[in-house]
Structure 1
Amino acid sequence: MESAWSSRGTSLGSSDPQLQRFMEAEVQKQRVQLLIHHMTELCWEKCMDKPGPRLDGRAELCLVNCVERFIDTSQFILNRLEQTQKARPLFSERLSD
């Protein structure tokens, strides 16, 4: 059973392009924040042995490398998914021939 708010929000989103763009931007912001949170948690666990008032050189280098690898991996996965999506229609067309 839907509440009045959720049904109203759905109809507004579909009829108001400005609201729709706003909602899409907010969803995108949330995704970025979740990605940053995940990266921070992962790299913190991997690199921080004992937190102190300052980062030692080893921890700093580890954090930099961890973040760079995380970004590289994320970019690789996105590119790979994009290639797969582009290739999929060609593959399905070949199967139907």
Structure 2
Amino acid sequence: MDNPEMQRFLQQEQQKAMLGEMVGKLTSVCWDKCITSTPGSKFSSGETTCLTNCAQRYLDMSVLIAKRFEMQ
């Protein structure tokens, strides 16, 4: 493809798809780990803390893995 605009567009769409996939995995993993019963109208403070920590660790590891692949 010689069209730089099209390449940029395709790259942006690929990044959106990857982000959507990451959010889906993050939601699934952290939900399974942190939510132990059917939630009511609110999460408990323990569930909220667990979800926050889980999401942060997941994102930190994703960044670390991405940086590792950039170096190779």
Normalised by the length of structure 1, the TM-score is: 0.66
Distance in 1 of aligned mates of 2:34 and 2:44? 11
Amino acid at match of 2:10: M
Residues 1-97 of structure 1: pairs in structure 2 closer than 5 A: 14-50=1-37, 51-83=39-71, 85=72
Q: Residues 82 and 20 (structure 1 numbering): CA distance in 2 closer, same or farther, change over 3 Å?
A: closer
Q: As a proportion of its length, which structure holds more helix?
A: 1
Quote the offset at 1:81 in angstroms: 2.6
Q: 1:28 to 1:61 in 2, by over 3 A?
A: same
Q: CA deviation at 1:17?
A: 2.0
What TM-score, normalized by structure 2, do the two folds share? 0.86
CA RMSD of aligned residues (A): 1.3
Q: Distance in 2 between matches of 1:28 and 1:53?
A: 33
Q: Which runs of 5+ in 1 are unaligned?
A: 1-13, 86-97
Q: Provide structure 2 residue ranges, at least 5 long, that are not aligned to the other structure.
A: none
Q: How many pairs were matched up?
A: 71
